[in-house]
Amino acid sequence: METPNLNYINELSGDNEEFKIKIIDILKRELPVEVQVYQEEIEKANYTQAAKAVHKLKHKVSILGLEKSYYIASDYEDNLNGNSVALKNDFEAILKAMQEFVIQL
């Protein structure tokens, strides 16, 4: 499994440390909320809404440099839209890794 990193954020922010801090702050604030929304929709078996939550989370996956995981998230989103939870465990492992990484920032 890939490891979350700040490569994309560093690239995006260049030498602008203030901008980098703002992006990280947004991640810290939004990620837990978006994960919670996803989990609530999964618990209710509301797969269409869960797919929308996954769609939002895909952007965080990408920002944290998880290129291969982005494709898993995208496939999982498609699965949810088809009322399938195939790839659920893989996606949730990605979420866990992201959350643990962001907490340490």
Q: How confident is the model at residue 1 (pLDDT cuts 50, 70, 90)?
A: confident
Helix (H/G/I), strand (E/B), else coil: 75: helix
Question: How far is it, in rounded angstroms, from Cα 12 to Cα 70?
Answer: 18
Distances (CA, A) of 52 to 4, 7, 21, 73, 84: 22, 26, 27, 11, 14
pLDDT in tens, 66-104: 999 999 999 999 999 999 999 999 999 999 999 999 999
The rounded mean pLDDT for the chain is 96
User: Is residue 41's pLDDT more than 80?
Assistant: yes
User: Is residue 10's pLDDT more than 80?
Assistant: yes
